[in-house]
Amino acid sequence: MAAVNKRSVMTLFSSATCVYSHRVRFVLAEKGIAADIHTVDMDQQPEDLVDLNPYGTLPTLVDRDLSLYDTRIIVEYLDERFPHPPLMPVDPVSRAKARLALFRIEQDWYGLLRELDASGKAADKARKALAESLIASDELFQLKEYFLSEEFSIMDCALGPLLWRLPRYGIELGDDASGVAEYARRLFQRESFQQSLSDAERTMRG
């Protein structure tokens, strides 16, 4: 593999099934950003990734001599580097509110995914907690066309990949979460979301 820092095209080291990698791919597709996406098997990490990211984690984004390896940092960098269409509000107050909402999404919902990837009582408890939390938040998904906003935003880029994975974890929300279901349907129908899916992710919903 050629040295990444010699590439003229942006490079994303991505997992085919990782929800964090999916978030970045969703942003790339939404903004129409050309990127060379390398699907990485974590059991056989390429030398480039080891050299560029001291943690060896995915996703890792390389833009010429810049290497980024935290999902939120990557997404905000892409939004600033390619400002149209914007994923973050323009004014400071709205930006702070969006960051706070994203923080809660990651703490309350993403935080359960690691346990769901395990097995036994911990996974059962996390499955129940995630389902109950989403159902309790159903009204929030009904307030506006997108999550807490009339415009597609960075929060939707985080929620789409998470909601797509619910069947994989055996989570059925039922009629008590009709708002979540309708919101998810709108996201999944976006051309950018469909473009962001890996072959492995498509199988998560048949």
| Helix, strand and coil percent figures for the chain, each rounded to 5 | 60, 10, 30
How many CA atoms within 13 Å lie on the side-chain side of 147?
A: 26
Pick 7 or 122 by higher pLDDT: 122
> According to the model, what pLDDT value does residue 165 have?
97
> According to the model, what pLDDT value does residue 8 have?
53
Q: Which distant-in-sequence residues (6+ apart) come within 8 Å of 31 by Cβ?
A: 78, 79, 82, 84, 85, 87
Q: What is the pLDDT of residues 165-197, one digit of tens each?
A: 999 999 999 999 999 999 999 999 999 999 999
Paired sense of beta strands 35-39 and 66-68, if any:
unpaired
| E strand intervals along the chain | 10-14, 35-39, 60-63, 66-68
Confidence of residue 86 (pLDDT cuts 50, 70, 90): very high
Q: What is the pLDDT of residues 16-65, one digit of tens each?
A: 999 999 999 999 999 999 999 999 987 777 888 888 999 989 999 999 99
Rg (CA), the chain: 17
- Residue 152, Cα to own-chain centre: how many angstroms? 14
- Interatomic CA distance for residues 40 and 47, integer angstroms: 11
SS3 66: strand
Give the CATH class of 92-198: mainly alpha
Q: What is the pLDDT of residues 7-21, one digit of tens each?
A: 458 999 999 999 999
How far apart, in Å, are the Cα atoms of 101 and each of 52, 63, 80, 113, 151? 30, 28, 19, 18, 15
> According to the model, what pLDDT value does residue 48 have?
83
- Stretch 132-156: mean pLDDT, rounded? 96
Judge: domain 4-81, CATH 3.40.30.10: yes
Q: What is the pLDDT of residues 90-104, one digit of tens each?
A: 899 999 999 999 999
Q: Is 18 considered catalytic here?
A: yes
- Stretch 136-141: mean pLDDT, rounded? 97
Give the DSSP letter of residue 65. T
Q: Where are the domains of the chain?
A: 4-81, 92-198
Pick from 108, 161, 155: nearest CA to 134: 108
Pick from 104, 166, 114, 94: nearest CA to 137: 104
- Stretch 136-157: mean pLDDT, rounded? 96
> According to the model, what pLDDT value does residue 3 have?
44
- Stretch 72-79: mean pLDDT, rounded? 97
Among 10, 12, 18, 130, the active-site one is 18
